[in-house]
């Protein structure tokens, strides 16, 4: 006969589970790098984040071919270029082959009269033409005359040189055997741009597979060749795959470990199944809550989530092992306070601007609440009235002795605290890592490859950028022209070596129209040309190509972005002129002088020139800025979280007890930090979160020890101790597993909590546990 209230409880639980499952089924899971990017950055960081996520730079895949000899590499490079150019996922693939660069050369040459800054009023007057041709003749008599002389018949006014001038400061990769090669010549290099900026990680993975397939085809007769790739897409896909496989591996292993542990303790499948119920319900609730709150669940949240097993399973362990004791009220009171402490700790994470952390906060709170509610209301209903727990008296007695022994060395945590604290103070400058890369899944070898390939491409390091936004493409290009004017002065004043501007590739319509207006009709042009050539060593009949080209340019009219399809310059333009939802963002890379650039001074130069809304950013500085802010935020959050937990203790237990139970946790936190410092592991925000978790989980231990009255009977006390040890083992196992992960964020958190909770238990036993006094006395 089941009681009515019991039926309602079971029904409510089943309904809840069904609803949660329904939500989880519709959940969108992501596993890219987005969890590391801030939600509410400042303007400069916003630009950076956008670019990291989907900018033109993010769309580039740099490819290297290694091994074999130079000819084999060059052949493979050409085949790979030809093959990939055919595939729809790529907008342009370049390998330095002049044949592949033809579209670019054709664009500049064909449109030279619209692109050349020299084309102004009077440029095609008699005097204007004479001056231009004289200048070209002088250039022809100089050291590069051999190359320049080819321009004379079709471009006697030297517009091509004017255009080239604008690109002077940017070098390219080294060329050998007509393909790009690395600086040492040991690697052929190519550049592929993904067609769409909105590619998700799955599509990026497909594109990378395309590259691999094309390479396999290109190298089928030369198996000694090796393909290497780098770029945001490569990193995203790699991170996703690593996180995915890691989360799966850890979840499986963690579950198996905890199951084995529980089976050893319970020796009952029924209890095991029951023990898993709160965990499973909590995990489902957590995922559903994050899904509802954020619209998606990050794979990393799931990774952290496996750690919840560590805490949620504790409740059923406490319940089962400590069952049968008279003081139920005391038991639930302790559990309630423990859960509240954990929730207080996790709640502060929810407000983090680091999406990964706020998801973790929501996940943990929902998960813990549901787990504890299921333990409190569902498990007692489903539990057999007579629990057949194996007699753990032997183990319990030994444990009790060990704990009793630990009491005698209660000075140890105090000494450790002092030593650790001193050590931390002495090394406080190197405690924290300020590099965003320290969180990245990318291995050191991959970062090195990335740096090497980027180095091969010369000026692709976009460290200093002049940036602004404008409502339309035309407005953006016009402003870029104004900015170029100022930057040109700064180049002349030797403040920078050079810069790139989208307007050099595609001038604004206004400028183009001005240039078109400067071109006279054919009859006038011929008349001016003939008059200009009087007394010059050139005859008009050698220059017919010139008249035709100028006339054609006038007729053709304004050029648009469409003319840049399938060109490398189009890729460059896209990277500098970025279309956003409501406006256009312009990013103009600066080529600094050898001694770098002081952004503040440079910003002042721009401001003085009257350029409003144009800012200079140092990408390296901004990136560490993003991360520095994270670390500060996480420190604040951890402190607030810990303070909330302590406040809770004070509120429910009074000052004295609150101090007594907080002290072992403080010792554990400081000692763990000192261990990391001693091992030369720089701490990141994930370590901080780990410390917060340690406080949350560890508070359960201290609370049980503290609640333990001296007049309790030995058996129930020993049961409590066994339950704490088993719970701690479960935690150390699951977090310890995380500690072995190759994903840094998982491993950082895992090692912190794994080591920390163990210390917390030991310290709690030393400092909080009271000496047993026989009840009869």
Contact positions toward another protein, by CB under 8 A?
137-143, 145-146, 149, 152-153, 168, 174, 176, 178, 183, 537-539, 542
Nearer to another protein, 183 or 527 (CB): 183
Q: Nearer to another protein by C-beta: 71 or 524?
A: 71
Alpha carbon distance 675, 199 (integer Å): 43
**With contact defined as beta carbons under 8 Å apart, do 237 and 205 qualify?**
yes
CB 697 within 8 A of CB 338: no
Q: Which whole-number Å values give the CA distances from 112 to 514, 516, 566, 574, in the listed order?
A: 14, 11, 19, 20
Find the helix or strand (DSSP H, E) in which 618 lies: strand 615-618
Alpha carbon distance 532, 534 (integer Å): 6
CA dist., res. 670 & res. 683, Å (int): 13
Q: Check if the beta carbon of residue 436 is closer than 8 Å to that of residue 36.
A: yes
DSSP 3-state of 192: strand
Residue closer to another protein by CB (options 384, 596) is 596
The Cα–Cα gap between 752 and 749 comes to 5
Tell me the HSE value of 92 on the side-chain side, using a 13 A CA sphere: 23
If the CB atoms of residues 64 and 498 are measured against another protein, the closer one turns out to be: 498
Nearer to another protein, 145 or 557 (CB): 145
Nearest to 734, CA basis, from 289, 260, 266: 260
Residue (174 or 244) nearer to another protein, CB: 174
Contact, 756 vs 668, CB < 8 A? yes
Query: Residue 120 Cβ, how far from another protein at the closest point, in Å?
Result: 18
State the nearest-atom distance from the C-beta of 125 to another protein, in Å: 23
Determine contact, residues 522/618, Cβ cutoff 8 Å: no
Contacts of 15 (CB under 8 A, 6+ apart): none
Residue whose C-alpha is closest to residue 43's, from 613, 582, 633, 600:
613
State the minimum distance, in angstroms, from the CB of residue 589 to another protein. Answer: 19
- In order of 257, 261, 338, 628, 751, the CA distances from 731 in angstroms are 10, 11, 15, 30, 11
Question: Least distance (Å) from another protein to the CB of residue 488?
Answer: 12
**In angstroms, what is the minimal distance from the CB of 590 to another protein?**
17
Tokens coding 198: 């909105």
Q: Which is nearer to another protein, 13 or 180 (CB)?
A: 180
Helices and strands per DSSP (H, E), number in the chain: 30, 13
Distance CA(750)–CA(737), nearest Å, equals: 7
By beta-carbon proximity to another protein, the closer residue of 10 and 139 is: 139
Nearer to another protein, 169 or 255 (CB): 169
Q: Which of 413, 340, 369 is nearest to 647 (CA)?
A: 340
Instruction: Measure Cα distances from 214 to 87, 92, 161, 241, 695 in Å.
Output: 10, 15, 38, 22, 53
CB of 98 to another protein, least distance (A): 11
Minimum CB distance to another protein, residue 153 (Å): 6
The distance of closest approach from Cβ of residue 593 to another protein in the complex, given in angstroms and rounded to an integer, is 12
Q: Which is nearer to another protein, 223 or 596 (CB)?
A: 596
Smallest gap from Cβ 197 to another protein, in A, equals 32
State phi, psi for 181 to the nearest 5 degrees: -135, 165
CB 181 within 8 A of CB 95: no
Q: What is the CA radius of gyration of the chain?
A: 35
In angstroms, rounded to a whole number, what is the distance separating the alpha carbons of residues 770 and 758? 19
What is the nearest approach in angstroms of another protein to the Cβ of residue 200?
38
CB of 544 to another protein, least distance (A): 12
Beta carbon of residue 168, minimum distance to another protein (angstroms, whole number) = 7
């Amino acid at each position: 006969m089941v009681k009515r209230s019991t039926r309602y409880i079971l029904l409510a639980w089943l309904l809840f589970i069904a609803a949660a499952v329904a939500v989880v089924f519709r959940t969108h899971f992501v596993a890219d790098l987005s969890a590391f990017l801030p939600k509410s950055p400042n303007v400069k960081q916003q630009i950076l984040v956008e670019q990291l996520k989907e900018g033109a730079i993010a769309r580039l895949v740099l490819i290297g071919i290694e091994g074999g000899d130079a000819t084999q590499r060059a052949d493979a490079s050409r085949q790979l270029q030809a093959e990939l150019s055919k595939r729809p996922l790529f907008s342009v693939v370049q390998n330095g082959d002049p044949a592949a660069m033809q579209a670019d050369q054709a664009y500049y040459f064909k449109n030279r009269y619209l692109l050349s800054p020299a084309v102004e009023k009077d440029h095609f007057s008699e005097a204007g033409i004479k001056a231009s041709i004289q200048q070209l003749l002088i250039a022809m008599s100089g050291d590069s005359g051999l190359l320049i002389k080819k321009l004379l018949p079709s471009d006697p006014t030297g517009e091509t040189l004017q255009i080239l001038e604008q690109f002077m400061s940017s070098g390219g990769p080294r060329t050998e055997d007509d393909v790009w090669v690395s600086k040492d010549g040991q690697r052929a290099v190519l550049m592929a741009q993904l067609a769409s900026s909105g590619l998700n990680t799955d599509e990026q993975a497909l594109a990378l597979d395309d590259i691999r397939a094309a390479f396999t085809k290109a190298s089928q007769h030369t198996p000694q060749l090796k393909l290497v790739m780098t770029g945001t897409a490569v990193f995203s896909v790699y991170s996703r795959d690593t996180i995915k496989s890691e989360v799966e591996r850890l979840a499986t292993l963690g579950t198996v470990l905890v199951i084995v542990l529980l089976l050893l303790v319970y020796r009952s499948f029924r209890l095991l199944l029951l023990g898993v119920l709160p965990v499973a319900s909590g995990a489902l609730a957590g995922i559903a809550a994050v899904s509802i709150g954020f619209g998606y669940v990050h794979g990393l949240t799931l990774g952290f989530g496996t750690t919840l097993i560590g805490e949620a399973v504790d409740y059923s362990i406490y319940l089962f092992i400590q069952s049968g004791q008279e003081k139920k009220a005391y038991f639930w009171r302790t559990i309630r306070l423990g859960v509240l402490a954990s929730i207080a700790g996790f709640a502060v994470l929810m407000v983090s601007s680091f999406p990964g952390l706020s998801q973790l906060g929501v996940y943990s709170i929902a998960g813990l609440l549901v787990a504890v509610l299921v333990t409190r209301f569902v498990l007692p209903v489903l539990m057999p009235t007579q629990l057949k727990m194996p007699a753990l008296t032997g183990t319990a007695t030994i444990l009790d002795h060990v704990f009793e022994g630990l009491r005698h060395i209660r000075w140890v945590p105090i000494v450790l605290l002092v030593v650790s604290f001193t050590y931390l103070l002495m090394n406080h400058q190197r405690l924290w890592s300020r590099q965003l890369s320290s969180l990245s899944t990318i291995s050191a070898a991959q970062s090195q490859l990335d740096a090497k390939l980027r180095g091969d491409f010369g000026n692709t390091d976009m460290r200093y950028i002049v940036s602004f936004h404008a409502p339309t493409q035309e407005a953006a290009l016009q402003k870029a022209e104004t900015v170029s004017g100022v930057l040109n002065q700064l180049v002349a004043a030797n403040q920078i070596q050079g810069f790139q501007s989208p307007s050099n590739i595609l001038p604004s319509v206004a400028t183009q129209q001005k240039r078109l207006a400067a071109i006279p009709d054919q009859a006038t042009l011929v008349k001016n040309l003939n008059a200009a050539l009087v007394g010059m060593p050139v005859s008009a009949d050698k220059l017919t190509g010139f008249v035709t080209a100028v006339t054609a340019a006038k007729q053709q009219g304004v050029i648009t972005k469409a003319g840049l399809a399938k060109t490398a310059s189009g890729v460059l333009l896209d990277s500098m002129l970025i279309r956003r939802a409501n406006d256009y963002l312009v990013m103009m890379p600066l080529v600094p002088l050898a001694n770098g650039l002081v952004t503040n001074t440079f910003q002042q130069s721009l401001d003085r020139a009257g350029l409003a809304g144009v800012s200079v950013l140092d990408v390296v500085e901004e990136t560490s800025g993003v991360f520095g802010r994270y670390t500060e935020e996480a420190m604040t959050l951890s402190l607030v979280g810990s303070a909330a937990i302590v406040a809770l203790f004070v509120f429910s237990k009074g000052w004295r007890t609150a101090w007594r139970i907080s002290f072992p946790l403080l010792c554990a936190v400081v000692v763990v930090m000192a261990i990391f410092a001693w091992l030369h592991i720089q701490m990141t925000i994930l370590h901080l979160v780990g410390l917060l978790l340690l406080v949350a989980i560890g508070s359960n231990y201290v609370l049980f020890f503290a609640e333990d009255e001296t007049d309790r009977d030995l058996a129930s006390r020993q049961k409590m101790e066994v339950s704490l040890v088993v719970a701690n083992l479960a935690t150390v196992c699951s977090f310890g597993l995380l500690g072995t992960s190759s994903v840094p964020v998982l491993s950082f958190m895992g090692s912190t909590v794994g080591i920390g909770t163990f210390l917390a238990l030991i310290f709690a036993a030393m400092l909080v546990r009271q000496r047993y006094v026989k009840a009869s006395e």
